[in-house]
Structure 1
Amino acid sequence: MSYIDWGVLIATLLLIVGYGVYKSRGAQSMQAYLLGNQSLPWYTVCLSVMATQASAITFLSAPGLAYTSGMSFVQFYFGLPLAMIVLCITFVPIFHRLKVYTAYEYSEQRFDLKTRALTAFLFLIQRGLSTGITIYAPSIILSTILNIDTTYTTLFIGSLVIFYTVYGGTKAVSYTQLLQMSIIFCGLFAAGIMVVHLLPGNMGFSKAISIAGKMGRTNAIDFSFDWNNQYTVWSGLIGGFFLQLSYFGTDQSQVGRYLTGASINQSRLGLLMNGLVKIPMQFLILLIGVLVFTFYQYNKAPLFFNSYELNKLEQSPYKAELKKIQSDYDQSFESKQIEVNKLDKALDANDQKAIDQQRIAVKKADEQNKSIRKDLTELMLKNDKKAATNDNNYIFLSFVTQYLPKGLIGLLIAIIFLASMGSTASALNSLASTSVIDIYKRLINKDATDQQYVNASRWATIIWGVVCILMALYTSKIGNLIEAVNILGSFIYGTILGVFIVAFYLKKIDGKAVFYAAILTEIVVCICGYLQVVAYLWLNVIGCLLVVIFALLIQQFRNKKTAEEIPAV
C-alpha cells in the first residue's frame, strides 16, 4: 500500500478507537459495563446489531462467494425480517421486563439451573469457536499486504481486539459500531462505483450484469425445493427464519446489543430497521463480487489470489511445474477473452442465437480455467500438505489492493478492520457476560461486590480472547469463512431456540423435560450435520422442532409415570 493508504487506515482506526474510549469513560458498574446503563437510542441499537453480524467475514468472503458461485447466498437472509417481527413481539419485552443481563437468566426463571447452564454452555461453545473465525478474517489482510504468514497477523489482531474490549465494555462497543457502520456504508458505495468505472469503456452497469448473468453469477432467486440445496427461497425463508430467530433471540452477542436500548420501543425499532436494511446491504456486497467477476473477464485474474501461498510455491523445487501451469493459464485466458468478446458483441446486437452459443463457449472456457487451477492446488499440496488451497477469501482483497486508487484502498481495508473489531468486540463482551453472570456469579461467587464482578468480566474477556485466538490459528483450512460461521451456528442455534420456544409458549413443560429434550436434539442434529443429510440451514428447523417434540413426549411420559406412582385413595 502507499503512504496515503497507510495514513487513511491508521487515522480511521485511531478515530474509531478514540471515539469508543471517550464514550465509555466512567463505565465501572456492571450495569454500565455490560448493558451501557440501557440508555442507547434506536439508531445506535440498529447499527450495533448490524455491525455485530456484519464482521470482516462479510466483506472478505461474500464478494468471493459471489465471484465463484453467484448471488444465491442473499436468500440466506430472506427470513430475517420475519424473525425481527417475532423478536419484537415476544423476546424484547420479556427480556426488558425481567431486567436480565443475559438471555440465559430467563431460562432458569422459567425452568431450572441446569437448563440455564446448558443453554449458556452451548452458546459459549458456538460463539467461542465462531469468534476465532472472525478474528482470522482481518489477519488475511495483513498477511497479504505484508506477505507474512497469517499466524503472526492473527496474534496481532486478536491481541489488539482483546485490549480494546477489556477497557471499553458494551457502551464502547455500541458507540464504536455506530461510527464504524457509517464509514462502512460510504466505503461500500464508493467501491461499487469504482468497480463499474474500471470496466471497459463501452460497458455500463447493466451490460456488466448481463455478462455475469450469462455465466451463472446472477442467480439470486431459486424457487426449487431441494433439501440438499444450500440456498433457495424456501431454505432462506424457513431455515433462515429459524437461524435468525435463534441468533438474534438467544445469542448473547446480539441480545446484549438490543438490551442496551433506552426502552422497549427503542430496542424494537432498532431491530426492525436492521431487518429492513440488512438484505439490501448484503445484496450490494454480493453485487460488488459479481462486478469484480465481470471485471476479471476482461482483465487477467491472478492464477491464485492468495499471494503468500503462491510465493511459497515459486520458491519451491516445483518452480518449473508452476511456470508450466502459469503458461497454460495465460493461454487459456486469451482463448476465453476471445469468447467473452464475441458474447459482448452478441449482446450489443441482441442476437439471441449467438448469445446462447457464446454462453456455452464462455462457460466451457471457464471450466478449463478451473481445471488449471485444480492442477495448481494439487501442486501446492504436493509441496506442502498444510497449504491453504482455498483462496475465496482473498479475491476481493486482491482486487482492492491492485486496482483501486490510493486512499480508497486504505479506506476499504480500514472498513474490513472496523467490521472485525466491532463483531469481535461484541462476541468477546457477550462471552464474558455469559461466563460471569450465568456461571461465575450464579455458581461460584454469589456474594461478590459490583466492582469484583466488573473485574471478573475483564478477566473473562482476556481468557476468551486467548481461546478465540487459538481457534483462529486453525481456521485457514475451513474454506469460505462466511459459510463456515453459519454452518457452525446451525449445529447449535436450533436447539437453543427450541428451548426458548418451549419457555415462551408451552407453559406446562418443566425443566427436566426440556433439558433432556435439548440433549437428545443436539445429538440428532450433530449426526445429521456430520452426515450432511440436509443442507445446513435446515438443521435450525430440525433442531427447534425436535426440542419441542421431545419435550412434549418426555413431559407426557413423566406425567403418566407420576400418575401411576400416586396411590389410589
Structure 2
Amino acid sequence: MQTIDLLVIAAYLIATAWLGLKLSGKQTGLKDYFLGGRNLPWWAVCLSVVATETSALTVIGIPAMSYLGNLSYLQLGIGYILGRIVVAFFMLPRYYDGEMVTAYAYLGKRFGSSTQTTAGVTFLLTRLLADGIRVLAAAIPLKVILDGLGVDLSYFAITVILSVVTILYTFIGGITAVVWVDVVQMLLYVVGGLIAIVLVASTIGMGWLGEAAEAGKTQLLVWSGNPLSADDSFLASVLGGAVFAMASHGSDQIVVQRLLACRSKVEAQKAIIVSGVIVTVQFAIFLVVGLALWGYYQGVAPAELGLTRDDEIFPLFIIEALPPGLSGLLLAGILAAAMSTLSSSLSALSSSTVTDVVGKLRRTPMTDQQGLRIGRWATIGWGLAFIAPATIFRSDEGSIVVLALGVAGITYGGLLGAFMFGIVNKRARAADANIAFVIAVAINAFFFVMEKYVIGEVWVAWQWYPLLGVIVTFVVGGLLSLRHDGRAPVEPVTIESR
C-alpha cells in the first residue's frame, strides 16, 4: 500500500458525504425525509435496492465462497427473482393502496397498533444485529490495510469512523441522499470486481478458468446432499431463496421503504423485479472473482497465506497485487458497498422508529416537524448502535455472508408469515398474530443459536428459516383463530399519507 491509496480512500469518504448532501435537497417533512417525496425514478431505486442487499458481504464474502468451493451460490439468484415477482404483484399493491410509510403499517391496519409495534421493534433489533455484521465486513479490509502499514487501529475505531461518515449524509439528506449515493457506490464496487478479473487474466492468463472447471469449481447446480441442512442444494437455494426474498423484499422496511419512494406502484414493481436480475449478475461477477483468485494463488488455503479469516482473501489481493492508486480505488469500492447498506439501514431504522414505535406509543399525533426531528435523532442513535454488534461478531470464523443472512432470517419468517396470515385468514385477531409471530421467531432463534454456538452442526439451512417461520405462523395463528367466530374485528387505525 502506498500513500496514494490512503489518499484515494480518504477522498472517497469525503466525496461520499459531500455527494449525499448535494443531491439530497431540502427535507421539509417526513414524506421528504423517509420517502423522497415519492418522486424517485424506478431505475435509481432498483440500483439502490441491489446496493443495499449486497453490501460489502458480496464484495469480500462471495469471492471467498467460490475460492473455497464452487459457483453453487448462484442458484440463489433464481429463487431471488421468483420471490421478487410474488412481492411485486401480491404485497406491493397493499402498501401503495394505503399510502403507507413503512411495511409494518399494513399490519397495523389489519391487526392493530400492537402488532405493528411488535413487528417494528423486532425489525429494529434484527436489522441492528445483521447490519452490525455488515459494518464488520467493511472493517475487515481496512484492518488488513492498516496492519500492513504498521498502524494498530482496532475494529472498534474503524467502525466508529465508517458510522460517523454515513450518519452525516443520512442525517441531513434522508432517503433521497441514501438512494443517489447508493447508485454511485454500486457502480464503483461492481467496476472494482470487473477490474480484478481483468488484472488476474492479464497477469496469469485465462488458464485458471479451465483448471477451475477440471477441479469441479464451476459446478452451478447441486442435486446431492440433504436439502434440509445443505445450504448449497438446489431445492434450498431456489425454494428457500424465493421465500427468503419474499420476506426480505416484502416485509423488511430497508427494502420496502425504497419501493414506496417510487413515483407509482408500477414503477416500484419494475424496480424490484429488475433488481433480482441485476443482483444475480452481480453474484456471478464476484463468484468469478473468487475463481480468478483461486488461480492466482494456486488454490493455497487462506490460512497458509497468513490470513485469519477466509473473507480476507480478496482484500489481500487488492493490497498485494494491484498497482498504487488502483488498490485504493477497489478498497474504496468495498467501503462503498458497506456504506450503502449502512445508510439504507439507518434510514429504514429511523423511519420505523418514528412511525411504528414512537408514533404508536404517543397519545397525541406527531406533527411533520416533530417526526422529522425524532427521525434525525434516531439516525444518530442507530448509527452509533451499529458499533456494538460489529464488535461482538468480529471473532467469528465462518462465512460472514451466511452469518448475516442467518441472523436476518431469524425474524424474516415471522414477519412474512404475519403479512400473509393477515391476508389469508380473515378471522384472525391481533393476539393470534402476535403469539404466532413470537413463537416463529423463537423457533428460528433456537436453531440459529444451537447450530452456531452450541452443537456446531447445521440442522436447518439458513435459506429455510423464512419458510419455517411462515409455516409456524400459519399453524399457530390458525389454531388460535379457531377460538373466534366469523370475521375478526380490526382495531381502528388511521394510516396517514405523509
Residue 184 of structure 2: aligned partner: 179
Give 3-state SS (helix, strand or coil) of 2:427's partner.
Answer: coil
Residue 260 of structure 2: aligned partner: 259
Q: Which moved more, 1:74-83 or 1:479-488?
A: 74-83
Residue 133 of structure 1: aligned partner: 133
Bigger-Rg structure (1/2): 1
Structure 1 residue 29, shift from structure 2 partner: 1.0
Is this contact kept in 1: 2:141–2:315, CA < 8 A?
A: yes
Residue 38 of structure 2: aligned partner: 38
Q: Show structure 1 runs of 4+ deviating over 6 A.
A: 298-302
Q: State the AA in 1 paired with 2:360.
A: R
Is this contact kept in 1: 2:410–2:448, CA < 8 A?
A: yes
Residue 342 of structure 1: aligned partner: none
Deviations 1:62-99 (A, max 9, x none): 11222122322222332111111111102222111211
Residue 365 of structure 2: aligned partner: 447
TM-score normalised by length of structure 2: 0.90
Residue 229 of structure 2: aligned partner: 228
Deviations 1:221-255 (A, max 9, x none): 10236111111111011111111110000111111
- Corresponding position: 1:552 with 2:492: no
The correspondence for 1:153, drawn from 131, 139, 158, is 158
* Structure 1 gaps, min length 5: 307-389, 563-569
- Corresponding position: 1:501 with 2:420: yes
The correspondence for 1:406, drawn from 311, 320, 324, is 324
Q: State the AA in 2 paired with 1:268.
A: Q
Structure 1 residue 513, shift from structure 2 partner: 1.7
Give 3-state SS (helix, strand or coil) of 2:483's partner.
Answer: helix
- Cα distance in 2 between the residues matched to 1:305 and 1:408: 23
Residue 445 of structure 2: aligned partner: 526
Deviations 1:430-483 (A, max 9, x none): 111111111111213633321121111111111112221111111212232111
- Corresponding position: 1:540 with 2:489: no
Structure 1 pair 453–510 and aligned structure 2 pair: CA distance change class (3 A) = same
- Cα distance in 1 between the residues matched to 2:19 and 2:395: 36
CA RMSD in angstroms comes to: 2.0
The correspondence for 2:431, drawn from 512, 537, 544, is 512
The correspondence for 1:166, drawn from 161, 171, 186, is 171
Residue 453 of structure 2: aligned partner: none
- Cα distance in 2 between the residues matched to 1:46 and 1:229: 31
Identity of aligned pairs, percent? Answer: 27
- Corresponding position: 1:99 with 2:99: yes
Structure 1 pair 298–95 and aligned structure 2 pair: CA distance change class (3 A) = closer
- Corresponding position: 1:421 with 2:426: no
Structure 1 pair 471–298 and aligned structure 2 pair: CA distance change class (3 A) = closer
Structure 1 residue 533, shift from structure 2 partner: 2.6
Structure 1 residue 490, shift from structure 2 partner: 1.6
- Cα distance in 2 between the residues matched to 1:255 and 1:432: 14
The correspondence for 1:196, drawn from 196, 201, 215, is 201
Is this contact kept in 1: 2:160–2:387, CA < 8 A?
A: yes
Deviations 1:386-410 (A, max 9, x none): xxxx411211000111001223211
* Structure 2 gaps, min length 5: 451-457, 489-498
Is this contact kept in 2: 1:91–1:249, CA < 8 A?
A: yes
Residue 14 of structure 2: aligned partner: 14
- Cα distance in 2 between the residues matched to 1:448 and 1:484: 38
Q: How many residues align?
A: 473
- Cα distance in 2 between the residues matched to 1:127 and 1:45: 20
Is this contact kept in 2: 1:165–1:429, CA < 8 A?
A: yes
Structure 1 pair 105–301 and aligned structure 2 pair: CA distance change class (3 A) = closer
Deviations 1:276-307 (A, max 9, x none): 1111210110110111011111889773444x
Q: State the AA in 1 paired with 2:142.
A: L
- Cα distance in 2 between the residues matched to 1:463 and 1:487: 25
Is this contact kept in 2: 1:529–1:539, CA < 8 A?
A: no
Is this contact kept in 2: 1:509–1:552, CA < 8 A?
A: yes
- Cα distance in 2 between the residues matched to 1:27 and 1:116: 26
Q: State the AA in 1 paired with 2:2.
A: S
The correspondence for 1:492, drawn from 401, 411, 422, is 411
- Corresponding position: 1:28 with 2:28: yes
Structure 1 residue 216, shift from structure 2 partner: 4.0
Give 3-state SS (helix, strand or coil) of 1:557's partner.
Answer: coil
Is this contact kept in 2: 1:66–1:217, CA < 8 A?
A: yes
Structure 1 pair 508–303 and aligned structure 2 pair: CA distance change class (3 A) = same
Structure 1 pair 491–302 and aligned structure 2 pair: CA distance change class (3 A) = closer
Q: State the AA in 2 paired with 1:168.
A: G
Write the mapping of 1:264-303 to structure 2, written as runs, cut at 5 A: 264-297=265-298, 303=304
Q: State the AA in 2 paired with 1:515.
A: N
Q: State the AA in 1 paired with 2:480.
A: I
Give 3-state SS (helix, strand or coil) of 1:261's partner.
Answer: coil
Is this contact kept in 1: 2:248–2:412, CA < 8 A?
A: yes
- Cα distance in 1 between the residues matched to 2:418 and 2:123: 13
Q: State the AA in 1 paired with 2:371.
A: Y
Is this contact kept in 2: 1:35–1:260, CA < 8 A?
A: yes
Q: State the AA in 2 paired with 1:170.
A: I
Residue 209 of structure 1: aligned partner: 209
Is this contact kept in 2: 1:28–1:451, CA < 8 A?
A: yes
